[in-house]
Structure 1
Amino acid sequence: MACRFEFEMNNRTVTVETGKVARQANGAVVLRSGKTVILATAVMDDKPIEEHFLPLTVQYIEKSYAAGKIPGGFVKRETKPGDFETLTSRLIDRSLRPLFPKGFFNPVQITVMLLSVGEEADLQSLALDAASAALFISDIPVSQCVAGVRIGRKDGEFVINPTLDALEEGTLDLFVSGTKEDLLMIEMRAIGTVDVEIEPTVAVDPMMDPMLADEIIQIPHVNELKEEELVEAIELAQKAITLAASEYEKVYAEAAKPKKDVPLFEEKADPSIVTYVKEFYMDEINRALDGMAKSERGTEIKAIVEQVRGDEIARTEEWTDDQIKRAVGEVKRERVRAMILEEGRRADGRSPKDVRPITIETNLLPSVHGSCLFTRGETQALVTCTLGNRQDAQMFERITGKSASYEEFMVHYNFPGFSVGEASRIGPPGRRELGHGNLAKRALEPTLDKTELDAIIRLVSEILESNGSSSMATVCGGSLALKAAAVPVLKLVAGVAMGLVMEDDKYAILTDIMGLEDHDGDMDFKVAGSEDGITALQMDIKLGGISLDLLKEALEQAKEARLHILGIMDEAAKAIEVNEEVLPSSEVFHVSPHKIVDIIGQAGKTIREIIEKFEVNIDLDKKQGEVKVTGPSKAKVKAACDHIKGIVEGGGAKKEIPQFEIDKPMMGKVKKLVDFGAFVELPGGVDGLLHISKISRGRIAHPSDLLHEGQEIEVVVKSQKGHKISLELAKPLD
């Protein structure tokens, strides 16, 4: 039966159609919002798998034709998914997986295809809503709808489902998904911006007039979110989700198929086997927990299963391997949770609020621009920072973009099998690796001082050992690796993974969880930020819901841990010895625009000789007289700059720049008139800039209205930084 539904809520109008296309699927919908059209299908195999887990596969696929494009490259068809597609698939999976009933083991595939795209579409939110609708109206036994809501913040006000432009112009990107009753998943990033304040007397564009940079006050800051502000934003999202999910379920009921009677397998262990394990193997279980507190590998539990299997009663009663494994696992889980809730201690002896011991070593790799070995308990990340030039940026295409974009800050996370003691093949990054790298990037990027940054940055995290939250170790190590590479960072960022154990009215919030607690706990909650607030957050709730009061308590406990870790990181940062000899360097200075030809030389001969001699790159701006020199080392860049300044000043050697007395009148000669002012030659043969706003009290169209080249005028120096000298007239010309 074909049905069409229209929704107008949460600042968005959406139309959903079903029964028209993809009718062989268990469930299929076409969602439209503006020019965006998304097809979502849900398909289930009738036969369950033998292993006891939910084999759910989610694929979000962007079709190039959706934006009127042909795929670039040699192969003119869609190939492997891009990072955005993979991350979106992961987001949908994490939101929908909790909806399936326990004991459901039939393979399910959810496919979301982008067929047409509008420039301002929030594709992740729309894709999730479409996937949820396809699942809900299908005959697959899922009876709840999920809704996704994005919260932005601009001018201090929270905005529900902002446009993409409004989102990036603001300071917050918070995505929350849930049912009408419970939150299921949260992702958040602070959007780093730089405030620029210009003195009211200087009405100029700093990009057009870099010579006046000393008259522009730049105040960079990190847009962290306070814990109480985050709770307020999540509360707003929860209300919007409840409204949307309730409406979806009420309206979609008309088109929903009767649910199939799918067998659900008993996930609880056999009580008699559980009793036997508790009676005869509790000492082994406790020893296994001690070992599992030091490793994610879990070989100790496998050994106990083997022991039980060899017992006479197991053979007599014909217990299967799966029954024994479930029973041992249940006893282990009960013991882990009882220790925490009843004894107030964890498997490794810590209290709920304790952070594992931390050690930090920086710049241990002599040929690497910046490096940090961050170890927290049995989790260890080696994070390296490499600096490059503009050609090293990662080019990518967004389906909503009109041209290629460039990623200037990259975070790549690798998780080899040896980090957990496994002999597994090392291959390309999977969804987990991409997700963890993206989380670390979101945490660190807001702290980069982009007013001072002039390099492409690649962070690589090699996880050498893992037992709980290697992504947060990547954040901590990455922040220090940036510092070790002398990258301008506004603040250090630390990350910590939080957990929750809850039974009836008892609960315990756990700080710095290890793999054992992640597996047997009820929440996985990663928080990263500076001493002043949160820059990134990722949360998956396993128990079906969490109160805002409990969330606030968890955030406050995470803040305590973050400040503790930041204190250790701050001491490590003070001890950093930068690898100056291997760091690439750049220097920018200004000369009179008519001197640029001297640097280039006849047919480019001079500039080629400088590049070859000093092994540097040189960029010249003929209009503004800007010279930018970049190279593999600070010494080579400085030598090249000195050589260029010597050429400009004559004689092939660098002249001594006189230090002028501020506000002392002196005579100068107008050397060059440009759109934004005049270059004036001062005593000693150096030039200063007299900006057009300083030539006349009234507005003039061009400096030539009042000045001519060769004219002598009386000026005063207002500021001097090396070659950069800003001037004013000693007395008005008019």
Structure 2
Amino acid sequence: MLRKIVSKTITLPDNRVITIETGKLATQADGSVVVRMNNTILLATVVAKEGPEEGFSFFPLYVDYQEKFAASGKIPGGFLKREGRLGDHEILVARLVDRAIRPLFDDSLNIEVQVNISLISADSDIAPDALAALAASSALAVSDIPFNGPISEVRVARVHGDWLINPSSSLMPLADINMIVAATEDGVLMVEGEMNEVQESEMVEAIRFAHEHIKVHCQVQREFMEAVGMQKRSLQSTATLTKAMYDPALRQAIYADMYAVAKKNIPSKRLRKEAFLAVETNYSAQLSTNLAEEEVSSVHQGEFLLDIQNQAIRDLILNEGIRLDGRKLDQVRHIESEVDYLPSAHGSALFTREETQSLTTVTLGSKFDEQIIDRVTEDGYNRFMLHYNFPGFSTGEIKPNRAPSRREIGHGHLAMRALKSVLPPDEEILYTIRLVSDILESNGSSSMATVCAGSLALMDAGIPIKSHVAGIAMGLITDPVTGRFAVLSDILGEEDHVGDMDFKVTGTCNGITACQMDMKVAGISYEVLETALLQAKEGRLHIFQKMVETIDVPRLQRKEHAPSIMSIEVEKEMIGAIIGPGGKIIQEIQKETGTDIDIVEKNNVGIVTIFAGNQNTLQKALSRVNAIVSKPVVGEIYTGRVKAVLKYGAFIEFMPGKDGLLHISEVRHERIEDLEQVLEVGEELQVKLIDIDYKTSKYKLSRKALLPSKEAAKAASGG
């Protein structure tokens, strides 16, 4: 059977081309495409179950992204030598795709859908993450799975003032804005990125620029769909609960009581939950009667009640500007913070925003603690890590402690990007830095609490960050019929659940450092986006000021128990002398002083970095290294150790790694018949360096030069 191959191309502003093709690979999937840009090639497939299923309280969409090591001609590291558990980088790319496409599936769709994206060919200058959502959307577009797309996703960056779409990887270190933007033709769906303290207007400009190019991608996908000609399947979801199943009067009564509870301004999440549950209990008998008559499952009953509760909360905000806890729309919750909470940590901070709390620690390590990066498209080391933990007890739930979830990995990555830009350059801070945020309570925006706590902890640890970084999460409630909307500052967990947007913004007092926006509806207007950003700035600066009141500048001195680190430059030729034959000398220094020493060659000099548990051991190791790299000076007196005794003289190690000859004639003024009767191996003695043969690097020593002459000795004895 001949395969029908269909392809379309997208031309970028710099005339580079993206090709989308279907019909050649993985044709037994419901939809499959190959997306190519230069030598970067992605294979995306989608598969969906045949019919709707019961038991899902959420849309069962699964998105996986995997990079094949063969794509760049590499063999995986480790023992197994095969691709295993997805790495954090792959999970983060999968989250980008999931967050972009999830809002465009109908709420009533209750079938399992799986999207698999594989990097099958890598180009070191073309980042695949900016193509992954385009590949997923294209695969959905040519499948029979109902999907309200197409969408696309691009990286937008600003380099030397110029806006670029999907720029080459070599240009990214020069960018002051680096964002991934996903959108439909009509509105923005998802934004994530990092910036170098930019203004809100610049961020909006970047999103607008990205969106204009995404529109072109979407139009090409529509042409792609037409060329393939696939018809979408028709599905009737059993999870769809029509309001006609229940008595309208009963529904109105429940709504009125739910609205009244929402309006009580109950400050505690637990008490609010109990109040809403009391309304459900009050109507349980009537609901059960109706349930039996209509043969509606208890799952549908729960969805019905939750739908009413959510609608009541949304209407209260839109109609009266009242939030569940009584705050104004732009009001931030009460904040408390403190530093140096844990006496044994190198730095720590406790940040509490009402019912959201982060305990964050800083640990300082050496170069040997760096994270090894072994990816398909990247190798190297990472000296700044941030890990985010979200245990079940933080929300009063039971959850086994297992590997970090995708959410935990994503939140930690966002907080890391937020703080990264305020760290000093590597040459100014030699430590490997690990932050760990343990969420002890959570009621909305724990990732932003992590940013705030992380900034405080870094200052407590004495890391000279240039400014605090504060973070805030914004929410949105919209009415598509009337066009009304309300932007909420510092959202609660319930507001996140019922709202249409979760927009996290972090920054210093000078500008934005990172952002993450997820839409739960199909797109957002620029009017709403600009309103949210300006309102976020007000809230962020309020939080920033609260942090400054706790600690305003980094500590000048690190904790007494914090490790010490120092780096010195030595001549390139001295590297071998410090290391010694087979590493003997450097290993000896490390063992005797209890330090870790790293030596690298950079810019034709040797960089020696010493990492010690305290200042005393650091100084001991530094003295040993300085002794090795110091140049012998003719006329200087040294304390040496006898290494070997021969008939004609002795070899003395007068400096670490440097041996000189003490000739038998230079030991005493008197004649010596047998030198072994005068000197023994291991003996310490003072010698004077009297000559250097620079061609052969041979050193001539004298002990006689330090002793009084025969005449002087005789006179001193009275003879």
- The Cα shift of 1:596 comes to 8.9
Q: Which residue of 2 aligns with 1:68?
A: 73
Inter-partner Cα distance in structure 2 for 1:284 and 1:502 = 19
Q: CA-to-partner distance for each residue in 1:91-131, whole Å, 9 max, x for gaps?
A: 11111112212301111111112211111122112221111
1:99-498 correspondence to structure 2 within 5 Å: 99-190=104-195, 223-264=196-237, 265-267=239-241, 269-270=243-244, 272=246, 275-276=249-250, 278-279=252-253, 282-283=256-257, 286-287=260-261, 294-295=268-269, 299-300=273-274, 303-304=277-278, 307-308=281-282, 310-312=284-286, 314-315=288-289, 318=292, 320-401=297-378, 404-450=379-425, 451-498=427-474
Is the contact between residue 185 and residue 215 of structure 2 (CA under 8 Å) also seen in structure 1? yes
SS at match of 1:59: strand
Q: Which residue of 1 aligns with 2:27?
A: 23
Q: Which residue of 2 aligns with 1:587?
A: 566
Q: Which residue of 1 aligns with 2:536?
A: 558
**Residues 651 and 152 of structure 1, relative CA distance in 2, 3 Å threshold:** farther
Q: CA-to-partner distance for each residue in 1:241-298, whole Å, 9 max, x for gaps?
A: 1122112212331103111111145355457456425526855765478698533898
Unaligned runs of 5+ in 1: 191-222, 654-708, 710-734
- The Cα shift of 1:549 comes to 2.4
**Residues 631 and 80 of structure 1, relative CA distance in 2, 3 Å threshold:** same
Kindly name which structure, 1 or 2, has the bigger radius of gyration based on alpha carbons.
2
Inter-partner Cα distance in structure 2 for 1:559 and 1:250 = 41
Q: Which residue type is aligned with residue 250 of structure 2?
A: Y
Inter-partner Cα distance in structure 1 for 2:455 and 2:186 = 38
Q: CA-to-partner distance for each residue in 1:302-354, whole Å, 9 max, x for gaps?
A: 83476156425633652642343233223322221232222222111110111
- The Cα shift of 1:619 comes to 4.8
SS at match of 2:566: strand
Aligned pair partner of 1:541 in 519, 525, 540: 519
RMSD: 3.1
Q: Which residue of 2 aligns with 1:669?
A: none
- The Cα shift of 1:600 comes to 8.4
- The Cα shift of 1:9 comes to 3.1
Q: CA-to-partner distance for each residue in 1:700-727, whole Å, 9 max, x for gaps?
A: xxxxxxxxx9xxxxxxxxxxxxxxxxxx
**Residues 573 and 639 of structure 1, relative CA distance in 2, 3 Å threshold:** farther
Q: CA-to-partner distance for each residue in 1:557-602, whole Å, 9 max, x for gaps?
A: 1111111111111121249776622111112356789999998899
Inter-partner Cα distance in structure 1 for 2:248 and 2:510 = 48
SS at match of 1:254: helix
Is the contact between residue 339 and residue 346 of structure 1 (CA under 8 Å) also seen in structure 2? yes
Inter-partner Cα distance in structure 2 for 1:338 and 1:583 = 53
Is the contact between residue 269 and residue 330 of structure 1 (CA under 8 Å) also seen in structure 2? no
Inter-partner Cα distance in structure 2 for 1:600 and 1:266 = 72
Comparing 248-257 with 354-363, greater Cα deviation is found at 248-257
Is the contact between residue 120 and residue 165 of structure 1 (CA under 8 Å) also seen in structure 2? yes
Q: Which residue type is aligned with residue 12 of structure 2?
A: M
Inter-partner Cα distance in structure 1 for 2:11 and 2:605 = 52
Q: CA-to-partner distance for each residue in 1:380-415, whole Å, 9 max, x for gaps?
A: 0111111111111111222123xx311111111111
**Residues 297 and 320 of structure 1, relative CA distance in 2, 3 Å threshold:** farther
Is the contact between residue 422 and residue 466 of structure 2 (CA under 8 Å) also seen in structure 1? yes
**Residues 317 and 604 of structure 1, relative CA distance in 2, 3 Å threshold:** closer
Q: Which residue of 1 aligns with 2:611?
A: 630
SS at match of 1:348: coil
Inter-partner Cα distance in structure 1 for 2:620 and 2:256 = 71
Comparing 385-394 with 118-127, greater Cα deviation is found at 118-127
SS at match of 2:197: coil
Q: Which residue type is aligned with residue 439 of structure 1?
A: L
**Residues 600 and 300 of structure 1, relative CA distance in 2, 3 Å threshold:** same
Q: CA-to-partner distance for each residue in 1:490-513, whole Å, 9 max, x for gaps?
A: 111010000111222322111100
**Residues 285 and 505 of structure 1, relative CA distance in 2, 3 Å threshold:** closer
Q: Which residue type is aligned with residue 53 of structure 1?
A: F
Q: CA-to-partner distance for each residue in 1:399-455, whole Å, 9 max, x for gaps?
A: 123xx3111111111111000000111110111011101101111111111141101
Q: Which residue of 1 aligns with 2:483?
A: 505
Inter-partner Cα distance in structure 1 for 2:270 and 2:182 = 29
Inter-partner Cα distance in structure 2 for 1:476 and 1:78 = 36
Inter-partner Cα distance in structure 1 for 2:584 and 2:405 = 50
- The Cα shift of 1:41 comes to 1.0
**Residues 147 and 599 of structure 1, relative CA distance in 2, 3 Å threshold:** closer
**Residues 638 and 651 of structure 1, relative CA distance in 2, 3 Å threshold:** farther
Q: CA-to-partner distance for each residue in 1:448-475, whole Å, 9 max, x for gaps?
A: 1114110111111111100001000011
Inter-partner Cα distance in structure 1 for 2:570 and 2:287 = 90
**Residues 363 and 436 of structure 1, relative CA distance in 2, 3 Å threshold:** same
- Alignment identity in percent? 40
**Residues 326 and 608 of structure 1, relative CA distance in 2, 3 Å threshold:** closer
